[in-house]
Protein backbone atom coordinates (compact mmCIF):
# COMPACT_ATOMS: atom_id res chain seq x y z
CA UNK A 1 0.00 0.00 0.00
CA UNK A 2 1.47 3.32 -1.02
CA UNK A 3 -1.14 5.69 0.39
CA UNK A 4 -2.53 6.62 3.76
CA UNK A 5 -6.02 7.92 4.37
CA UNK A 6 -5.40 10.24 7.32
CA UNK A 7 -9.01 11.41 7.61
CA UNK A 8 -11.39 10.70 10.48
CA UNK A 9 -14.51 8.66 9.66
CA UNK A 10 -17.70 10.62 10.28
CA UNK A 11 -20.35 8.42 11.92
CA UNK A 12 -22.89 8.85 14.71
CA UNK A 13 -20.38 7.99 17.46
CA UNK A 14 -17.41 9.97 16.12
CA UNK A 15 -15.51 11.86 18.83
CA UNK A 16 -16.58 15.50 19.06
CA UNK A 17 -15.04 18.49 20.82
CA UNK A 18 -15.54 18.28 24.59
CA UNK A 19 -18.13 15.56 23.95
CA UNK A 20 -20.77 18.23 23.48
CA UNK A 21 -23.96 16.54 22.29
CA UNK A 22 -24.89 19.47 20.04
CA UNK A 23 -21.65 18.88 18.09
CA UNK A 24 -22.55 15.30 17.27
CA UNK A 25 -23.54 14.55 13.64
CA UNK A 26 -27.14 13.45 13.23
CA UNK A 27 -28.17 11.11 10.42
CA UNK A 28 -31.77 11.30 9.23
CA UNK A 29 -33.53 9.11 6.66
CA UNK A 30 -34.78 11.71 4.19
CA UNK A 31 -36.20 9.10 1.81
CA UNK A 32 -36.67 5.34 2.11
CA UNK A 33 -37.00 2.59 -0.47
CA UNK A 34 -40.46 1.58 0.73
CA UNK A 35 -41.96 5.06 0.57
CA UNK A 36 -39.93 6.91 -2.05
CA UNK A 37 -38.34 4.11 -4.06
CA UNK A 38 -34.92 5.55 -3.27
CA UNK A 39 -32.89 5.96 -0.10
CA UNK A 40 -31.48 9.34 0.90
CA UNK A 41 -29.73 10.60 4.01
CA UNK A 42 -29.85 14.09 5.46
CA UNK A 43 -26.99 14.90 7.80
CA UNK A 44 -26.82 17.60 10.46
CA UNK A 45 -23.13 18.39 10.46
CA UNK A 46 -21.17 20.93 12.46
CA UNK A 47 -18.48 21.98 9.99
CA UNK A 48 -15.77 21.34 12.62
CA UNK A 49 -16.61 17.63 12.71
CA UNK A 50 -13.83 15.14 11.95
CA UNK A 51 -11.03 16.22 9.63
CA UNK A 52 -11.57 19.85 8.64
CA UNK A 53 -9.86 23.13 7.93
CA UNK A 54 -10.51 26.44 9.66
CA UNK A 55 -10.81 29.90 8.12
CA UNK A 56 -10.19 33.01 10.18
CA UNK A 57 -13.91 33.81 10.53
CA UNK A 58 -13.86 30.98 13.07
CA UNK A 59 -12.06 33.34 15.50
CA UNK A 60 -12.40 36.85 14.00
CA UNK A 61 -15.59 38.75 13.27
CA UNK A 62 -14.10 40.20 10.10
CA UNK A 63 -12.27 37.00 9.23
CA UNK A 64 -12.00 35.15 5.95
CA UNK A 65 -14.44 32.48 4.84
CA UNK A 66 -14.14 29.49 2.54
CA UNK A 67 -15.17 31.55 -0.50
CA UNK A 68 -12.40 31.70 -3.12
CA UNK A 69 -10.06 29.43 -1.16
CA UNK A 70 -7.40 28.14 -3.54
CA UNK A 71 -7.56 24.36 -3.10
CA UNK A 72 -4.31 23.88 -5.04
CA UNK A 73 -2.55 24.90 -1.82
CA UNK A 74 -3.56 21.48 -0.46
CA UNK A 75 -2.11 19.35 -3.27
CA UNK A 76 1.62 19.35 -2.50
CA UNK A 77 4.44 17.85 -0.49
CA UNK A 78 4.22 17.77 3.31
CA UNK A 79 6.45 16.79 6.23
CA UNK A 80 5.11 14.62 9.05
CA UNK A 81 6.82 15.20 12.42
CA UNK A 82 6.65 12.59 15.17
CA UNK A 83 5.70 14.36 18.39
CA UNK A 84 4.16 11.36 20.09
CA UNK A 85 6.43 11.90 23.11
CA UNK A 86 4.95 15.35 23.83
CA UNK A 87 2.71 15.36 26.90
CA UNK A 88 0.94 18.73 26.70
CA UNK A 89 1.37 21.69 24.35
CA UNK A 90 3.89 21.44 21.49
CA UNK A 91 6.37 24.25 22.14
CA UNK A 92 9.18 25.88 20.22
CA UNK A 93 11.61 23.56 22.01
CA UNK A 94 9.74 20.53 20.72
CA UNK A 95 10.05 21.75 17.13
CA UNK A 96 13.49 23.36 17.04
CA UNK A 97 15.43 20.28 15.93
CA UNK A 98 13.27 19.54 12.88
CA UNK A 99 14.29 20.51 9.37
CA UNK A 100 11.77 23.26 8.60
CA UNK A 101 12.12 25.54 5.61
CA UNK A 102 10.12 28.44 4.21
CA UNK A 103 7.14 27.10 2.26
CA UNK A 104 6.90 23.84 4.20
CA UNK A 105 3.53 22.34 5.13
CA UNK A 106 3.92 20.39 8.38
CA UNK A 107 1.71 17.73 9.93
CA UNK A 108 2.09 17.18 13.67
CA UNK A 109 1.67 13.56 14.76
CA UNK A 110 0.91 13.18 18.47
CA UNK A 111 -0.55 10.60 20.78
CA UNK A 112 -3.97 12.02 19.85
CA UNK A 113 -3.85 9.84 16.75
CA UNK A 114 -4.09 6.78 19.00
CA UNK A 115 -7.25 7.91 20.79
CA UNK A 116 -10.72 7.36 19.36
CA UNK A 117 -12.56 9.16 22.13
CA UNK A 118 -12.23 12.81 23.02
CA UNK A 119 -9.46 13.54 25.52
CA UNK A 120 -9.91 16.80 27.42
CA UNK A 121 -6.11 16.86 27.82
CA UNK A 122 -5.43 16.49 24.08
CA UNK A 123 -2.04 17.50 22.74
CA UNK A 124 -2.09 20.87 20.97
CA UNK A 125 0.18 23.44 19.37
CA UNK A 126 1.25 25.86 22.09
CA UNK A 127 1.59 29.56 21.38
CA UNK A 128 5.41 29.35 21.30
CA UNK A 129 5.21 26.51 18.80
CA UNK A 130 2.90 28.50 16.54
CA UNK A 131 5.17 31.57 16.70
CA UNK A 132 8.17 29.40 15.87
CA UNK A 133 6.42 27.85 12.84
CA UNK A 134 5.28 31.28 11.68
CA UNK A 135 8.87 32.58 11.96
CA UNK A 136 10.03 29.57 9.93
CA UNK A 137 7.52 30.69 7.25
CA UNK A 138 5.55 27.47 7.01
CA UNK A 139 2.44 27.71 4.82
CA UNK A 140 0.31 25.11 6.55
CA UNK A 141 -0.05 23.20 9.79
CA UNK A 142 -2.03 20.03 10.33
CA UNK A 143 -2.65 18.33 13.65
CA UNK A 144 -4.40 15.19 14.87
CA UNK A 145 -6.52 17.06 17.42
CA UNK A 146 -10.01 18.47 16.90
CA UNK A 147 -8.51 21.82 17.93
CA UNK A 148 -5.06 23.15 17.09
CA UNK A 149 -5.03 24.64 20.62
CA UNK A 150 -6.86 24.43 23.94
CA UNK A 151 -7.05 26.55 27.07
CA UNK A 152 -5.03 29.44 25.66
CA UNK A 153 -6.75 32.76 26.38
CA UNK A 154 -7.41 34.76 23.20
CA UNK A 155 -6.63 31.77 20.94
CA UNK A 156 -3.04 32.88 20.19
CA UNK A 157 -2.18 29.76 18.18
CA UNK A 158 -5.16 30.11 15.85
CA UNK A 159 -4.60 33.83 15.53
CA UNK A 160 -0.85 33.63 14.88
CA UNK A 161 -1.51 31.15 12.08
CA UNK A 162 -4.51 33.04 10.66
CA UNK A 163 -2.63 36.36 10.74
CA UNK A 164 0.05 34.89 8.50
CA UNK A 165 -2.34 33.08 6.16
CA UNK A 166 -1.10 29.70 7.36
CA UNK A 167 -3.57 26.92 6.59
CA UNK A 168 -4.93 25.06 9.64
CA UNK A 169 -6.08 21.45 9.31
CA UNK A 170 -7.53 19.75 12.38
CA UNK A 171 -8.72 16.23 13.12
CA UNK A 172 -6.07 14.26 11.21
CA UNK A 173 -5.47 10.57 11.99
CA UNK A 174 -1.72 9.92 11.67
CA UNK A 175 -1.32 6.64 13.57
CA UNK A 176 -0.30 4.67 10.49
CA UNK A 177 2.09 7.29 9.12
CA UNK A 178 5.74 7.40 10.06
CA UNK A 179 7.70 10.61 10.31
CA UNK A 180 8.91 11.70 6.90
CA UNK A 181 8.07 13.34 3.60
CA UNK A 182 4.88 12.64 1.67
CA UNK A 183 2.75 13.89 -1.18
CA UNK A 184 -0.53 15.23 0.20
CA UNK A 185 -3.79 15.36 -1.69
CA UNK A 186 -6.45 17.12 0.33
CA UNK A 187 -9.74 18.47 -0.96
CA UNK A 188 -12.47 20.18 1.03
CA UNK A 189 -16.06 20.02 -0.08
CA UNK A 190 -17.08 23.22 -1.80
CA UNK A 191 -19.30 25.15 0.59
CA UNK A 192 -19.35 28.92 0.18
CA UNK A 193 -18.98 31.59 2.83
CA UNK A 194 -18.36 29.41 5.88
CA UNK A 195 -15.69 29.39 8.62
CA UNK A 196 -14.65 25.76 8.23
CA UNK A 197 -14.77 22.97 5.66
CA UNK A 198 -14.72 19.21 6.11
CA UNK A 199 -12.03 17.75 3.93
CA UNK A 200 -10.50 14.45 2.94
CA UNK A 201 -6.75 14.18 3.37
CA UNK A 202 -4.61 11.42 1.89
CA UNK A 203 -0.84 11.00 1.86
CA UNK A 204 1.21 9.18 -0.73
CA UNK A 205 4.69 7.81 -0.47
CA UNK A 206 6.91 10.56 -1.86
CA UNK A 207 8.65 8.08 -4.16
CA UNK A 208 5.33 7.27 -5.84
CA UNK A 209 3.23 9.73 -7.76
CA UNK A 210 -0.46 8.89 -7.54
CA UNK A 211 -1.19 10.45 -10.92
CA UNK A 212 1.55 8.72 -12.85
CA UNK A 213 1.21 5.33 -11.15
CA UNK A 214 -2.42 4.34 -11.41
CA UNK A 215 -3.00 4.41 -15.13
CA UNK B 1 -4.49 28.18 -15.28
CA UNK B 2 -3.90 24.47 -15.56
CA UNK B 3 -6.76 23.18 -13.41
CA UNK B 4 -10.53 23.25 -13.43
CA UNK B 5 -12.69 23.05 -10.36
CA UNK B 6 -15.70 21.19 -11.74
CA UNK B 7 -17.60 21.08 -8.44
CA UNK B 8 -20.85 22.89 -7.64
CA UNK B 9 -20.73 25.50 -4.87
CA UNK B 10 -22.97 24.59 -1.94
CA UNK B 11 -24.82 27.67 -0.65
CA UNK B 12 -28.36 28.39 0.50
CA UNK B 13 -29.67 29.02 -3.02
CA UNK B 14 -27.91 26.13 -4.76
CA UNK B 15 -30.11 24.31 -7.25
CA UNK B 16 -31.68 21.18 -5.77
CA UNK B 17 -33.48 18.24 -7.36
CA UNK B 18 -36.96 19.20 -8.56
CA UNK B 19 -36.62 22.38 -6.44
CA UNK B 20 -37.89 20.46 -3.43
CA UNK B 21 -37.54 22.71 -0.37
CA UNK B 22 -36.64 19.78 1.90
CA UNK B 23 -33.56 19.15 -0.26
CA UNK B 24 -32.22 22.65 0.25
CA UNK B 25 -29.15 22.99 2.53
CA UNK B 26 -29.81 24.91 5.73
CA UNK B 27 -27.07 26.93 7.42
CA UNK B 28 -27.38 27.50 11.16
CA UNK B 29 -25.15 29.58 13.43
CA UNK B 30 -24.11 27.02 16.03
CA UNK B 31 -21.80 29.47 17.84
CA UNK B 32 -21.26 33.21 17.48
CA UNK B 33 -18.35 35.48 18.38
CA UNK B 34 -20.43 37.54 20.80
CA UNK B 35 -21.76 34.61 22.80
CA UNK B 36 -19.17 31.86 22.41
CA UNK B 37 -16.03 33.75 21.35
CA UNK B 38 -15.87 31.62 18.21
CA UNK B 39 -18.06 31.24 15.15
CA UNK B 40 -19.32 27.84 14.05
CA UNK B 41 -21.77 26.71 11.41
CA UNK B 42 -24.05 23.69 11.51
CA UNK B 43 -25.30 22.58 8.12
CA UNK B 44 -28.31 20.43 7.32
CA UNK B 45 -27.18 18.70 4.16
CA UNK B 46 -28.91 16.11 2.02
CA UNK B 47 -26.00 13.97 0.83
CA UNK B 48 -27.17 14.32 -2.78
CA UNK B 49 -26.58 18.08 -2.73
CA UNK B 50 -24.22 19.57 -5.30
CA UNK B 51 -21.43 17.40 -6.65
CA UNK B 52 -21.70 13.93 -5.12
CA UNK B 53 -21.30 10.25 -5.80
CA UNK B 54 -23.96 7.57 -5.36
CA UNK B 55 -23.60 4.10 -3.86
CA UNK B 56 -26.05 1.36 -4.74
CA UNK B 57 -27.93 1.63 -1.41
CA UNK B 58 -29.43 4.73 -3.03
CA UNK B 59 -31.55 2.45 -5.23
CA UNK B 60 -31.28 -1.04 -3.71
CA UNK B 61 -32.31 -2.15 -0.22
CA UNK B 62 -29.31 -4.46 0.04
CA UNK B 63 -27.00 -2.06 -1.79
CA UNK B 64 -23.50 -0.93 -0.97
CA UNK B 65 -22.69 2.06 1.20
CA UNK B 66 -19.73 4.41 1.39
CA UNK B 67 -17.96 2.20 3.93
CA UNK B 68 -14.65 0.89 2.57
CA UNK B 69 -14.93 2.76 -0.73
CA UNK B 70 -11.48 2.87 -2.32
CA UNK B 71 -10.93 6.58 -2.98
CA UNK B 72 -7.89 5.84 -5.18
CA UNK B 73 -10.40 4.97 -7.92
CA UNK B 74 -11.07 8.71 -8.17
CA UNK B 75 -7.46 9.87 -8.67
CA UNK B 76 -6.79 9.01 -12.30
CA UNK B 77 -7.15 10.05 -15.92
CA UNK B 78 -10.58 10.83 -17.33
CA UNK B 79 -12.13 11.68 -20.70
CA UNK B 80 -14.55 14.56 -21.07
CA UNK B 81 -17.08 14.14 -23.91
CA UNK B 82 -18.90 17.13 -25.35
CA UNK B 83 -22.58 16.25 -25.56
CA UNK B 84 -23.89 19.79 -25.42
CA UNK B 85 -25.88 19.21 -28.60
CA UNK B 86 -27.98 16.45 -26.99
CA UNK B 87 -31.55 17.57 -26.29
CA UNK B 88 -32.91 14.81 -24.04
CA UNK B 89 -31.42 11.48 -22.90
CA UNK B 90 -27.89 10.56 -24.02
CA UNK B 91 -28.31 7.36 -26.02
CA UNK B 92 -25.99 4.73 -27.43
CA UNK B 93 -26.08 6.59 -30.75
CA UNK B 94 -24.82 9.75 -29.07
CA UNK B 95 -21.81 7.88 -27.64
CA UNK B 96 -20.90 5.43 -30.37
CA UNK B 97 -18.38 7.65 -32.17
CA UNK B 98 -16.25 8.42 -29.10
CA UNK B 99 -12.99 6.61 -28.37
CA UNK B 100 -13.98 4.54 -25.32
CA UNK B 101 -11.78 1.76 -24.01
CA UNK B 102 -12.02 -0.71 -21.11
CA UNK B 103 -11.05 1.02 -17.88
CA UNK B 104 -12.00 4.51 -19.04
CA UNK B 105 -13.68 6.99 -16.69
CA UNK B 106 -15.91 9.29 -18.72
CA UNK B 107 -17.41 12.66 -17.87
CA UNK B 108 -20.45 13.74 -19.87
CA UNK B 109 -20.61 17.46 -20.58
CA UNK B 110 -24.11 18.64 -21.52
CA UNK B 111 -26.02 21.87 -21.64
CA UNK B 112 -26.84 21.28 -17.95
CA UNK B 113 -23.45 22.79 -17.13
CA UNK B 114 -24.71 26.14 -18.39
CA UNK B 115 -27.79 26.21 -16.14
CA UNK B 116 -27.65 27.40 -12.53
CA UNK B 117 -31.27 26.65 -11.75
CA UNK B 118 -32.89 23.25 -11.78
CA UNK B 119 -34.29 22.27 -15.16
CA UNK B 120 -37.01 19.63 -14.99
CA UNK B 121 -35.99 18.62 -18.53
CA UNK B 122 -32.32 18.17 -17.65
CA UNK B 123 -30.14 16.08 -19.94
CA UNK B 124 -29.47 12.58 -18.57
CA UNK B 125 -27.88 9.27 -19.48
CA UNK B 126 -30.57 7.17 -21.14
CA UNK B 127 -30.78 3.43 -20.52
CA UNK B 128 -29.25 2.62 -23.93
CA UNK B 129 -26.33 4.93 -23.17
CA UNK B 130 -25.70 3.26 -19.84
CA UNK B 131 -25.81 -0.20 -21.39
CA UNK B 132 -23.42 0.91 -24.10
CA UNK B 133 -20.94 2.32 -21.55
CA UNK B 134 -21.23 -0.85 -19.45
CA UNK B 135 -20.50 -2.97 -22.53
CA UNK B 136 -17.48 -0.77 -23.25
CA UNK B 137 -16.30 -1.62 -19.70
CA UNK B 138 -15.96 1.90 -18.40
CA UNK B 139 -15.22 2.12 -14.66
CA UNK B 140 -16.85 5.46 -13.92
CA UNK B 141 -19.37 7.92 -15.30
CA UNK B 142 -19.74 11.55 -14.30
CA UNK B 143 -22.50 13.88 -15.44
CA UNK B 144 -23.39 17.53 -14.93
CA UNK B 145 -26.93 16.75 -13.79
CA UNK B 146 -28.12 16.25 -10.22
CA UNK B 147 -29.35 12.86 -11.39
CA UNK B 148 -27.72 10.54 -13.90
CA UNK B 149 -31.23 9.72 -15.14
CA UNK B 150 -34.81 10.98 -14.94
CA UNK B 151 -38.24 9.55 -15.70
CA UNK B 152 -36.99 6.03 -16.42
CA UNK B 153 -39.14 3.47 -14.63
CA UNK B 154 -37.07 1.19 -12.37
CA UNK B 155 -33.99 3.42 -12.63
CA UNK B 156 -32.30 1.29 -15.33
CA UNK B 157 -29.36 3.70 -15.77
CA UNK B 158 -28.46 3.74 -12.09
CA UNK B 159 -28.96 0.01 -11.81
CA UNK B 160 -26.95 -0.90 -14.90
CA UNK B 161 -24.04 1.15 -13.59
CA UNK B 162 -24.38 -0.10 -10.00
CA UNK B 163 -24.65 -3.74 -11.12
CA UNK B 164 -21.27 -3.43 -12.83
CA UNK B 165 -19.58 -1.48 -10.04
CA UNK B 166 -19.29 1.60 -12.23
CA UNK B 167 -18.80 4.77 -10.18
CA UNK B 168 -21.52 7.41 -10.57
CA UNK B 169 -20.69 11.08 -10.03
CA UNK B 170 -23.52 13.60 -10.33
CA UNK B 171 -23.68 17.39 -10.17
CA UNK B 172 -20.48 18.24 -12.07
CA UNK B 173 -19.98 21.71 -13.58
CA UNK B 174 -18.16 21.29 -16.89
CA UNK B 175 -18.84 24.62 -18.62
CA UNK B 176 -15.18 25.68 -18.56
CA UNK B 177 -13.79 22.33 -19.67
CA UNK B 178 -13.31 21.43 -23.30
CA UNK B 179 -13.67 17.90 -24.61
CA UNK B 180 -10.45 15.97 -24.07
CA UNK B 181 -8.26 14.06 -21.65
CA UNK B 182 -7.53 15.25 -18.11
CA UNK B 183 -6.11 14.12 -14.81
CA UNK B 184 -8.90 13.96 -12.23
CA UNK B 185 -8.44 14.37 -8.52
CA UNK B 186 -11.68 13.75 -6.67
CA UNK B 187 -12.10 13.11 -2.97
CA UNK B 188 -15.33 12.55 -1.09
CA UNK B 189 -15.62 13.46 2.56
CA UNK B 190 -15.31 10.39 4.74
CA UNK B 191 -18.76 9.56 6.05
CA UNK B 192 -19.40 5.94 6.91
CA UNK B 193 -22.34 3.76 5.94
CA UNK B 194 -24.25 6.20 3.73
CA UNK B 195 -25.71 5.95 0.21
CA UNK B 196 -24.02 9.08 -1.18
CA UNK B 197 -21.03 11.30 -0.49
CA UNK B 198 -20.43 14.93 -1.38
CA UNK B 199 -17.10 15.24 -3.11
CA UNK B 200 -14.78 17.80 -4.63
CA UNK B 201 -13.72 17.15 -8.20
CA UNK B 202 -10.88 18.94 -9.96
CA UNK B 203 -9.37 18.33 -13.38
CA UNK B 204 -5.82 19.08 -14.44
CA UNK B 205 -4.43 19.50 -17.89
CA UNK B 206 -3.11 16.09 -18.82
CA UNK B 207 0.26 17.58 -19.83
CA UNK B 208 0.77 18.92 -16.30
CA UNK B 209 1.07 16.81 -13.18
CA UNK B 210 -0.26 18.64 -10.12
CA UNK B 211 2.06 16.75 -7.80
CA UNK B 212 5.25 17.33 -9.73
CA UNK B 213 4.56 20.91 -10.70
CA UNK B 214 3.74 22.77 -7.53
CA UNK B 215 6.82 22.19 -5.46
Give dist(CA A181, CA A200) in Å, integer.
19
pTM strictly above 0.80: yes
The vertex-A38 CA angle with A35 and A44, nearest 5°, equals: 95
**pLDDT tens, B39-82?**
999 999 999 999 999 999 999 999 999 999 999 999 999 999 99
What's the complex ipTM? 0.96
pLDDT greater at residue B113 or residue B214: B113
**pLDDT tens, B74-83?**
999 999 999 9
Cβ of A200 within 8 Å of Cβ of B214? The answer is no
Cβ of B47 within 8 Å of Cβ of A58? The answer is no
The pLDDT confidence band at residue B1, using thresholds 50, 70 and 90, is: low
A30, pLDDT greater than 90: yes
A213 in B contact zone (CB under 8 Å): no
B214, pLDDT greater than 80: no
Candidates B10, B71, B196; nearest CB to A189:
B10
Calculate mean pLDDT across residues A180-206.
97
Q: What is the pLDDT of residue B215?
A: 42
Give dist(CA B141, CA B161) in Å, integer.
8
A59 in B contact zone (CB under 8 Å): yes
Report chain A residues whose CB lies below 8 A from the CB of B116.
none
**pLDDT tens, A99-139?**
999 999 999 999 999 999 999 999 999 999 999 999 999 99
CA-nearest of B166, B171, B165, B160 to B201 is B171
Among A38-47, A166-175, B199-208, where is mean pLDDT lowest?
B199-208
A196, pLDDT greater than 90: yes
**pLDDT tens, A140-161?**
999 999 999 999 999 999 999 9
Ramachandran quadrant class, B163 (left: phi over 0; alpha: psi -120 to 50; beta: rest): alpha
* Best to test chain B binding among A42, A50, A69, A213 (most B CBs inside 10 Å): A42
A209, pLDDT greater than 90: no
Amino acid sequence: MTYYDVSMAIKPDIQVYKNKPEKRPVFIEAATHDVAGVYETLIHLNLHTGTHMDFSLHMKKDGKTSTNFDFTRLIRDVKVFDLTHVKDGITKDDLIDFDINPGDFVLLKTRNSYEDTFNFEFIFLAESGSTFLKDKKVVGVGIDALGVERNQKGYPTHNTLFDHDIIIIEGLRLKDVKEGNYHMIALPIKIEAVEALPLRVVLYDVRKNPISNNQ
